Structure 1
Amino acid sequence: MNQNSSRRDFLSRSTKIAAACALFGVTATHAAKSAIASGEPSHGMKISSPHYYLDNVLLESGFEFDGTTPISTRTELKTLEIKQGKIVALLDNHLHANHTLAVYDAGGKLMLPAMRDMHIHLDKTFYGGPWRSLNRPAGTTIKDMIALEQKLLPELQPYTQQRAEKLIDLLQSRGSTIARSHCNVEPTSGLKNLEALQAVLARRKSGFSCEIVAFPQHGLLYSKSEPLMREAMQAGAHYVGGLDPTSVDGAMEKSLDTMFQIALDYNKGVDIHLHETSPAGLAAINYMMDTVEKTPQLKGKLTISHAFALATLNEQQVDELASRMAAQQVTIASTVPIGTLHMPLSQLREKGVFVMTGTDSVIDHWSPYGQGDMLEKANLYAQLYIRPNEKTLSRALAIATGDVLPLNDQGERQWPKAEDEASFVLVDASCSAEAVARISPRTATFHRGEIVWGSVGQTSKA
């Protein structure tokens, strides 16, 4: 793939291969399939009480071992006491000390941590509107796509809020209640997309938490977007975005220096789209690492999205770079692509680099694909990067949940525990390993104690 190829060229191949897997065609429930078709996932029931019991919750309690090898996962049914958005107690099943509280029934479904879609574009999508697939001839470059966006974005802006709402519905139906959305900030959009997205997120904040990256999609320097990016920081964006500093901006050091300076001036984090696979991509990663290493204020504040250049390195080079990344708490955001390049995601994780995943596009002018499903991403990660067994499949869930796992590596329960936030998803599976391997159907999604999608049973009312 040459340096001018867009991320979507790479990712579209990934989705075609994924779609060919029969597994993906049989795991969704009929309701979820209908939701995708209509663009309207059901919000399901509401829980009005801030304090209640949830019975028949299936929790993982440990691994069963054959010698030192985990061969299965033990589970048990428990009752959760949930109050003011937190899990205040894990109780024996059906144990209700306070008989005035409402009681709900999880129906024996497996409880997993809430999913996190940490790379998505909520502000520009066809999802929720009529079907539309744009023609992209072979050889289309990212600058061609920038020119297309400059024409297309004004057509999309009247629908930004409505479609962002639909996309949030979709994410919640897949178990995601936490996200990071990139949002176009460039001369064509101005701050309109940012203002629209902020309005949507304000309406949905009780059931959906989302950070915003101000994203100069048309090039920070190429589209002269620095003044707008600064305005976006003042307007409340959480991260400074960037885009391919060599192939788009044409001046790697100046582009990255400008991006980092904005972040430093407003005490923000950085999340850059880096698709370049030529030597320029690796040069950009090394330059960013050099900058973070000599600028203590940037430690823990850099996310490199896509980072396809890492796939061009050998094992030793990855180890060396990963050690630097781990030391500076640099995060990699990957969509777990399948294509001509093999990303070293498991090696990065083994070296202590925090790797997260996200949807990226969902049915837009970059790609006609997208399920909004982080459990599917965990499945792809498992297929590509691990030897599957009970333990490794359960560990693969971490990429979808921000490293929150029910069991630690020794098989001891570490989640949920008292005082944890009551953000979780109920899944029709016997354990994490099965949920990852089979992309098991979700039945209900909770965010801070509120049910935001699906339903549970109710056995009594307060």
Structure 2
Amino acid sequence: MQNIHQQSRRNFLSNTAKLTAGSALMASAMASAASISIRANNPPTQCADLNSIKSINAPHYLLRNVRLEDGFEREGETVIATKTSLYQLEINNGKIVAIQPANTAADNTLPTFDARGLLLLPATRDMHIHLDKTFYGGPWQAPRPRKGKTIMDMIAREQVLIPKLLPTSVEHAEAIIGLLHSKGTTVARSHCNIDPVSGLKSLEHLQIALEKHKADFSCEIVAFPQHGLLHSHVDGLMREAMQMGVQYVGGLDPTNVDGAMEKSLDAMFQIAIDSQKGVDIHLHETSPAGVAAVKYMIKTVEQNPQLQGKVTLSHGFALSTLHDAELDAVIDGLARQQFSVASTVPIGKLAMPLPQLSEKGVVVMTGTDSVIDHWSPFGTGSMLEKANLYAQLYGNSDEFGLTRSLAIATGNVLPLDDSGKRQWPAVNDNAEMILVDASCSAEAVARISPVKATFHQGRLVFGSIQKV
């Protein structure tokens, strides 16, 4: 049982869900009003007609009338707006090979498509999701009540549920991939259960789904001992998973679940060292044991330099309990050992120090976590929504702050640098991009603007485009 000072995963998710729901409703209302205003001054960006297509077969083509950000408009030192212009992009074998003003004479030998003034942004990345166990894609099913349930109760519940999910887990994983495409995501990192109930079946099924989408979706896999690395005696299964193309060794609450912090973390890191893989651990604990676990991991990586830059702390709620010099010292340690942090941008009594982590050079990522499963029904798959939550939580309500908030959704890829110089897209960049119905990235974040088309390696994987 967690003591009264602990912030449980349930509380974080519950409070986040409330804000998400409220934000989504407000964003929807504001988006409708903004849409009326925009269309009063601009021609329609996209409408259905006979030239609308849903796939591009040509590897080499032109994309015309793409809206790109050019720079910031300032009032003194204050950024008050974002300048944009229309451009023509040439895409060849998944790369952006030329960027020219929209009025440049087109190469008539190439297939040409019209973005009709939609804003081009980097595709988003969902860096913490569970594709292998979900109700999504099937009949609506809300989770059973969580009140009074410990994480061990939830694990016991899952041991009964997993066998029921396995027969349709491939189809459900594919359904979530389609959802992510519709929200602008082309790259993900999925945790996948390795447990005594499913053995390696969950992993095998996830890999079948990913193989079917290898041309339109890129995904790393974390072998995740959801029922406890030590508690469920899955060290052997985890090592087998490392031989099956998995990129990361997972872990879970070494004190609350495994009951032996150092022993659990040592076992996890040893698998990673032996298999030369990375680590991505779920750490929900906010007791002093959670802080001790973070400090122990920093020390372990310092003693094993081959792990530097290869460890992700998922959730890491213990960081929200630290203050002042102790917080600075822990963040400095995470930065020195090149940790990354994957956060769902939770809203609760204790706020995660995500801006401080970024400022010190720790890579901060975000993800959906649950879409619809026995843990939570609230995940939407939208990383723009996560950027919106980040902006709200950390006070980024102005034009500049909103543009910076997009970074958490795109792997730190932003159209403009802090000075307002365009840095994306650039010639030779991968054509990982989305077309959004917004005037600029600040509006896209604030309004959670609709994604109209998603491109992965130059391929249109969601939405439609106009053929010229």
**Matching residue of 1:45:** 54
SS in 2 for 1:63: strand
**Matching residue of 2:333:** 324
Residue 28 (structure 1) shift:
7.6
Aligned pairs (5 A) from 1:19-38: 19-21=21-23, 22-26=25-29
Instruction: Choose which of 375, 384, 390 in structure 2 pairs with 1:381.
Output: 390
Contact preservation (8 Å) 2:64, 2:114: yes
Residue 354 (structure 1) shift:
0.6
Q: Distance in 2 between matches of 1:94 and 1:51?
A: 20
Asked if 1:424 corresponds to 2:433, the answer is: yes
**Matching residue of 1:365:** 374
Q: Distance in 2 between matches of 1:260 and 1:210?
A: 22
Q: Distance in 2 between matches of 1:111 and 1:152?
A: 41
Q: Distance in 1 between matches of 2:319 and 2:419?
A: 31
Change (3 A) 1:332 1:280: same
**Matching residue of 1:254:** 263
Q: Distance in 2 between matches of 1:175 and 1:228?
A: 34
Tell me the alpha carbon deviations over residues 171-224 of structure 1, each in whole angstroms, 9 at most, x when there is no partner: 000000000000001111111010111111111011110000000000000000
Q: Distance in 1 between matches of 2:10 and 2:89?
A: 43
One-letter amino acid of the structure 2 residue matched with residue 360 of structure 1: D
Tell me the alpha carbon deviations over residues 368-394 of structure 1, each in whole angstroms, 9 at most, x when there is no partner: 111100000000000001342111110
One-letter amino acid of the structure 1 residue matched with residue 363 of structure 2: F
Q: Distance in 1 between matches of 2:238 and 2:105?
A: 53
Which segment drifts farther, 387-396 or 281-290? 387-396
Change (3 A) 1:418 1:62: same
Aligned pairs (5 A) from 1:126-137: 126-137=135-146
Aligned pairs (5 A) from 1:128-147: 128-147=137-156
Q: Distance in 2 between matches of 1:150 and 1:166?
A: 23
One-letter amino acid of the structure 2 residue matched with residue 141 of structure 1: T
Residue 350 (structure 1) shift:
1.2
Tell me the alpha carbon deviations over residues 378-437 of structure 1, each in whole angstroms, 9 at most, x when there is no partner: 000000013421111100000000000000000000000000000101111111111111
Aligned pairs (5 A) from 1:273-352: 273-352=282-361
Counting aligned pairs with the same residue, the percent is 62
Instruction: Choose which of 95, 102, 106 in structure 1 pairs with 2:111.
Output: 102
Contact preservation (8 Å) 1:180, 1:213: yes
Asked if 1:14 corresponds to 2:9, the answer is: no
**Matching residue of 2:49:** none
Residue 101 (structure 1) shift:
0.6
One-letter amino acid of the structure 2 residue matched with residue 208 of structure 1: F
Aligned pairs (5 A) from 1:191-210: 191-210=200-219
Q: Distance in 1 between matches of 2:223 and 2:321?
A: 28
Please list every run of 5 or more consecutive structure 2 residues that lacks an aligned counterpart in the other structure. 33-51
**Matching residue of 1:216:** 225
Tell me the alpha carbon deviations over residues 2-23 of structure 1, each in whole angstroms, 9 at most, x when there is no partner: 3687524421221023213332
Contact preservation (8 Å) 2:249, 2:277: yes
Which segment drifts farther, 73-82 or 85-94? 85-94
Aligned pairs (5 A) from 1:94-243: 94-243=103-252
Contact preservation (8 Å) 1:244, 1:273: yes
Change (3 A) 1:458 1:287: same
Residue 145 (structure 1) shift:
0.5
Contact preservation (8 Å) 2:53, 2:467: no
Residue 95 (structure 1) shift:
2.8
Q: Distance in 2 between matches of 1:150 and 1:452?
A: 35
What is the number of equivalent residue pairs in this alignment? 446
Change (3 A) 1:315 1:44: farther
Residue 275 (structure 1) shift:
0.1
Change (3 A) 1:423 1:23: same
SS in 2 for 1:148: helix
Normalised by the length of structure 1, the TM-score is 0.94
Residue 327 (structure 1) shift:
1.6
Ranges of 4+ aligned residues in structure 1 off by more than 3 Å? 3-6, 24-29
Q: Distance in 2 between matches of 1:129 and 1:5?
A: 32
**Matching residue of 2:42:** none
Q: Distance in 2 between matches of 1:69 and 1:137?
A: 46
Q: Distance in 1 between matches of 2:449 and 2:142?
A: 29
Q: Distance in 1 between matches of 2:53 and 2:399?
A: 33
Change (3 A) 1:277 1:44: farther
Normalised by the length of structure 2, the TM-score is 0.93
One-letter amino acid of the structure 1 residue matched with residue 442 of structure 2: A
Tell me the alpha carbon deviations over residues 321-368 of structure 1, each in whole angstroms, 9 at most, x when there is no partner: 111111211000000011122111111111111100000000100011
**Matching residue of 2:281:** 272
Contact preservation (8 Å) 2:88, 2:100: yes
**Matching residue of 1:76:** 85
One-letter amino acid of the structure 1 residue matched with residue 16 of structure 2: S
